[in-house]
Amino acid sequence: DLNISVRNEEGLEFKPASYGSKIIVTISLAGIDLSQINPEKLVVYRQIERYNETTGQVETSWECVGGRISEDGKSIIFETDHTSVYAVFVSNITFKDIQKHWAKEQVEVLAARQIVKGLAPDTFGPEVSVTRAQFTAIVLRALGIDEKSGLNQTFIDVKPGTWYYGAVETAYAEGLVDGVGDGRFDPGRQISRQEMAVLIARALQQTGADKSIGFDEINNNLKRFKDRDEIAPWAQESVAKAVELGIITGRTQDTFVGKANATRAESAVMVYRMLKKAGHI
C-alpha cells in the first residue's frame, strides 16, 4: 500500500492522490524464490476501485504498471504518479501456438505486461501480419503512453469511433508516426519491416536510448544486406540504428527484406528488445 505525505510551508500535512511528475518506487523481492521464475515475468499491478452506479457497489480491478528488476535482482522498480495499493504478480500467460516458436519468451514477457494480446485466449498467431494501426497501439502501450482524448482528426481514414483512433492520433501527436500521403494513415494495411524500424527508432528517442549515427555507420550497418538498395531512403537511418542496437536483424544473414510484411512474432521481439535497450524490462 503506497502512501506518501507532503508537508506544506504552513506545516500542514496532507496526502496527494496524484503528482505532477512520476516517482520511482522500489518493492523488495525478499522471500520470493526466483530460481524457478523468469524475473521478466514479474510485473507490478495497481489496484483500481470504481463505483458502479448501476449496482451501487465499488468494483475492484487491477491495472498493469510494469516494472523492471533491479541490477542486484533483489527488488522490482516502477514509476507511478498515483498512491494506491500495488502488488507484484508472476505471469503465466502463454499461448498454445508459441510453445515451440522462436519468439515464445519475448511474447510471454510482453503479454505479462499487457503490451501484446492474443487473437484468442489460447492463440497468439505469431506468423500473422500486423497492421499499421495495431503496431502503433503496441508501441504506445510499450512506452506507457496513455491515449489522449479530445484530439482532432488528422487523417481522413482514421475516423473517430474506430478502436485505433485514439492510438493513432496520440502517436501522431507524440511524433511517433506519420501518414502515407494524401491525408491518409492507411491503418489497415500490413506494416512493413522498414516501417516498423522507423517507428521503433522514434520510440527509442522517447525513452532516451536513441543513438546518433553518421553516414559511415549507416553504410557499415547496411552493407551486410545484399538487398540494402531496396530499403527506402527514408528508412535507412532507422534500420541502421535498429541493426546496430541489436533490435532488428535480417530475415536471413545477408538479406533484410525491408518491404516484407512484419509478423506478430517479429513485432513482439522488436518491442521487447527496444524495452530491454531502454532499461524498461
- Residue 63's φ and ψ, nearest 5 degrees, are -115, 130
Total count of residues recorded for the chain: 281
pLDDT tens-place string over residues 254-278: 999 999 999 999 999 999 999 999 9
Give a yes or no: residue 43 inside a domain. yes
Are residues 73 and 145 part of one domain? no
Are residues 72 and 55 part of one domain? yes
Give a yes or no: residue 155 inside a domain. yes
Domain boundary among 54, 74, 90: 90
Cell numbers at residue 250, please? 535480417
Are residues 247 and 152 part of one domain? yes
Are residues 177 and 49 part of one domain? no
Are residues 153 and 195 part of one domain? yes
Give a yes or no: residue 34 inside a domain. yes
Q: Are 183 and 156 in contact (CB under 8 A)?
A: yes
Are residues 62 and 35 part of one domain? yes
Domain boundary among 90, 117, 135: 90
Are residues 69 and 162 part of one domain? no
Are residues 105 and 68 part of one domain? no
Are residues 43 and 133 part of one domain? no
Domain boundary among 90, 110, 127: 90
Give a yes or no: residue 19 inside a domain. yes
Are residues 232 and 161 part of one domain? yes
Query: Residue 12: left if φ>0, alpha if ψ -120 to 50, beta else—which one?
Result: beta
Partners of 26 in beta bridges: 77
The count of structural domains within the chain is 2
Are residues 101 and 26 part of one domain? no
**pLDDT 10s per residue in the chain (281 long)?**
555 544 555 655 555 555 567 789 999 998 888 888 889 999 999 999 898 888 889 999 998 999 999 998 899 999 888 778 899 999 999 999 999 999 999 999 999 999 999 999 999 999 999 999 999 999 999 999 999 988 999 999 999 999 999 999 999 999 999 999 999 999 999 999 999 999 999 999 988 887 778 888 899 899 999 999 999 999 999 999 999 999 999 999 999 999 999 999 999 999 999 999 998 88
Count Cβ atoms below 10 Å from residue 268 Cβ, excluding itself: 27
Sheet of 75-82: strand order equals: 18-28, 75-82, 68-69
Q: How far apart are CA 110 and CA 122, in angstroms?
A: 15
Give a yes or no: residue 122 inside a domain. yes
Domain range enclosing 132? 96-277
Are residues 115 and 234 part of one domain? yes
